Amino acid sequence: MGIGSAVLAANSINRILAEVINPQTLVIGNIRYGMIHDETRCIGCRACILACHKVNQVPAEVTRLDILDNVTYRELNKNSRQFVRKSCQHCDNPPCVEVCPTGASYKDPKTGIVDVHHDRCVGCRYCIAACPYHVRFIHPLSKTADKCNFCRDTNLAAGKPPACVAICPMKALTFGNLDDPDSDIAKLIASKTVYRNKLYLGTSPKLYHIAGKFGEIRG
């Protein structure tokens, strides 16, 4: 990361609370939420991860999202870096929901968000094994399955966008209703070339990516 990127990262960390407390207002209700990660904008500062941990009280030893760099270009001795977001895809056809024996894993019909009823989860790890994106984990305190839920219980419940979206210094994340043609996310998908991971599995993921200059990062 260069000096400029380091400065942006430092600034973003310093203003986490301001950005998370005072973002734009959103409305929940009979919609289908999704997200776009723009790899042409992401600098790998990881401010999104820090904001997620703070807002959702995620223990340090686990994470609901990660920012990974593309090892392919490094193997080719490229000097530039490209980053990709790794988190729950909030699939329209989530395999984690299908295998859950207690109904703890579910897709909210009002928002399309895939989430966990922690009072029903027995920690069997079936959902962890079934997830082809490897983004679930057992919460070290509750001993139940956990993952990104778009800040459904925190920011989103308060009418704010997810913490990662609010804090990003490069505006690399766009969040909104995929079914609203006037939403920022729908307009971006219509105007840009986007990709999603493992579509061949039929999961219909709702995490989209805009590929960086080294192309799509598959995972």
Q: Over the stretch 145-172, which tens digit does the pLDDT of each residue have? A: 999 999 999 999 999 999 999 999 999 9
Q: What is the dihedral of CA 215, 165, 60, 115, to 10 degrees?
A: -90
C-alpha span between 50 and 67 (Å, rounded): 11
Do the domain assignments include residue 101?
no
Do the domain assignments include residue 72?
yes
Do the domain assignments include residue 215?
no
CATH of residue 187's domain is: 3.30.70.20
- Lowest-pLDDT range of 78-87, 118-127, 156-165, 166-175: 78-87
pLDDT digits (tens, 9 = 90+) for 24-71: 334 445 699 999 999 999 999 999 999 999 999 999 999 999 999 876
pTM of the complete model beyond 0.85: no
pLDDT digits (tens, 9 = 90+) for 95-115: 999 999 999 999 999 999 999
The continuous run of DSSP H or E covering 174 comes out as strand 173-177
